[in-house]
Amino acid sequence: MTYYLAKAGATVRLVERAQLNSAASSQNAGSLHFQLEYRMIENGSEAARKAAEAMPLHLDAQNAWAGLEKELGMPVGVSQHGGFMVAETPQQIETLKQKVMLERASGLDVELLDGAQVRSRAPYLSEQILGAAFCATEGKADPRSCVLAYAAAAARLGARINSGLGVSTLNYEHGVWRVHFSDGSECMARTLAITAGAWSGRIAAMAGVSLPVSPVALTMTTTVRTSPMISHLIQHAGRRLSLKQTGDGNILIGGGWPARLHHVNGVIDLDRRPELLISSLTGNMSAALAVVPALKKLSILRVWTGTTALVADQLPLLGEVPKSHGLYIATGGSAFTLGPTYARLLAERILGRPATLDITPFDPRRFGSLTLA
């Protein structure tokens, strides 16, 4: 968002407590998924219908990613060769059918393929795969370089960026926000935007606002590099699985397997990396191997955990915090895939420009009294 604001000529300062690419922004899987995810369809058709409300954002993100490298003038590993959501059982095929109907109704171009069609496009997939939903614009990007590319582009446009600088207090006084930093310095701003991922709830609390944002700890695994074998994004309709091969040749395996958040005196300790659960690792690898049998001969190089932010109703939290004065937030949901979209739309809103997309369904206002200071 710093980039989009700076591009519009606003005076922007970005403050990061640690390093720019040190948390979820670089730890996430780098999936560009525009189909509904497993977490959105695992709880029945009503929940899926609710999740599909965010589909306009998905549609916008398809194009945002396609043009991002040109926009930033730097490669960020965008590759959109399509993505499968595979099914291994007749029941999962049924789920896919309903999902595809829902998505088509929302304007997403999705095909339903049978097992033979799937394997003709992706011969590396197991014989066990009975069918899949295919979305041609899905793919991947490199999260390790996206944040830095945005930062470099924003800095070129005159944005001020500080890493290693935390926020200590936020106070609204005499029509401006007064921000105290961890090094004792302070600054004043007319507008504050919270884009702190899992920390969003805590920062909002500093401003006297309670938001229903919860940290969720997840697990990712990468194999050693291998020759190109998987060009698509793979997801699963009945198991937690996301799988892709990076441009460097590593195969990234994830899909929402939990890790354990540390607690101090009953409060989640966001400063410690969540603890890896062996059950998540074995479960995730079993799912991966069932879908892509050729993984059998590869070694695991690294497993890591990270913390993302989910909102109570699983939809994004995007817009101005009600009853506040110039306090904005963007978090929740598929925040990597939708990141460029969130940022552009919120910048638009902050600058008071006409909305290119209606973001009122994602407004923090929907939680009503919860957001009262």
Interaction of residue 295 with another protein, rule CB under 8 A: yes
Stretch of 61-69, 180-188, 296-304, 342-350 lying at the interface with another protein (CB under 8 A): 296-304
| Shortest reach from residue 8's CB to another protein, in Å | 22
Residue from 184, 227, 248, 368 in contact with another protein (CB under 8 A): 248
Between 22 and 182, CB nearer to another protein: 22
> Does residue 21 bind another protein (CB under 8 A)?
yes
Distance (Å, rounded) from C-alpha 292 to C-alpha 224?
15
- Is 152 a binder of another protein (CB under 8 A)? yes
Q: How far is the CB of 59 from another protein (least distance, A)?
A: 30
Mutual angle of helices 339-350 and 55-66, in 10-degree steps: 100
Site for another protein in 256-285 (CB under 8 A): 273, 275-279, 281-283, 285
To the nearest whole angstrom, how small is the minimum distance from the Cβ of residue 194 to another protein? 19
**Are the C-beta atoms of 81 and 134 separated by less than 8 Å?**
no
Number of Cβ within 10 Å of residue 229's Cβ equals 15
Q: Which of 19, 89, 168, 356 binds another protein (CB under 8 A)?
A: 19
Spatial separation of the C-alpha atoms in residues 84 and 107, rounded to whole Å: 18
CB of 277 to another protein, least distance (A): 8
Whole-angstrom distance, CA of residue 188 vs CA of residue 172: 9
Q: Does 144 bind another protein (CB under 8 A)?
A: yes
Phi and psi torsions of 47, nearest 5°: -65, -40
Q: Does 303 bind another protein (CB under 8 A)?
A: yes
Q: Which of 227, 265, 299, 369 binds another protein (CB under 8 A)?
A: 299
Sequence-distant contacts of 11-14: CB under 8 A, at least 24 apart: 12/154, 12/159, 12/160, 13/159, 13/160, 13/161, 13/162, 13/187, 13/189, 14/151, 14/154, 14/159, 14/160, 14/161, 14/162
Stretch that binds another protein, among 18-26, 33-41, 47-55, 326-334 (CB under 8 A): 18-26
Burial of 12: CB neighbours in 10 Å, binned 0-12, 13-18, 19+? buried
- In whole angstroms, the minimum distance from the beta carbon of 187 to another protein comes to 17
Find the binder of another protein among 300, 313, 322, 373 (CB under 8 A).
300
Segment near another protein (CB under 8 A), from 84-92, 108-116, 180-188, 297-305?
297-305
Q: Which of residues 156-185 bind another protein (CB under 8 A)?
A: 161-164
CB atoms within 10 A of CB 189: 15
How many residues belong to the site for another protein (CB under 8 A)?
42
66, 157, 298, 373: which one binds another protein (CB under 8 A): 298
Residue 358: both structure tokens together: 């209606």
Residue 167 has a CB neighbour count (10 Å cut-off) of 20
Identify whether the C-beta of residue 17 lies closer than 8 Å to the C-beta of residue 200. no
Stretch that binds another protein, among 63-71, 155-163, 183-191, 353-361 (CB under 8 A): 155-163
Residues that bind another protein (CB under 8 A): 16, 19-22, 26, 144-145, 148, 151-152, 161-164, 223-225, 248, 273, 275-279, 281-283, 285-286, 288-289, 295-304
